[in-house]
Amino acid sequence: MTFDRSHARVFAGLAAGAALAAAYHLGAFGLACAYSHLHAAAWRHLVFVGIDAALCLLLLWRPRWLIVPVTIVAAQAFWSHGRGLWLAWHCTRQVDWISLAVLLYLPALLAAALWNAWQPENKRT
């Protein structure tokens, strides 16, 4: 396995993580629509289906400017999932496992996008 192929596998794994997040948000959208008291949260999940699907495609395409949308998504996710993880622990002493998984995924995502931005064009394909 060459150095470049191993990085392609890393990006494929990160893209799979984004696809999994899109599937999660799609399921959460369906549940929010099914229960009338959750309609306010439904639109947010639908937005993140699109964001996560776009991120998945960008991770497979790997344009040099990938760092820009990844940084924006990571900042939002660090804020919302970091806050969610803290509140769950602080208020109920329970771990929000989804938020923890997202927070563990984000540093790898940022590192890969940064590495991608520094690579010459012929090394990113």
Are 9 and 3 in contact by the 8 Å Cβ rule? The answer is no
Say how many domains are in the chain.
1
**pTM score, two decimals?**
0.86
Q: Is the pLDDT of residue 9 over 90?
A: yes
Name every residue whose Cβ is closer than 8 Å to that of residue 25 and which is 6 or more positions away in sequence. Answer: 45, 46, 48, 49, 52
Full residue range of the structural domain in which residue 71 is found? 3-123
Per-residue pLDDT tens over the stretch 36-92 = 666 667 888 899 999 999 999 999 999 999 999 999 999 999 999 999 999 999 999
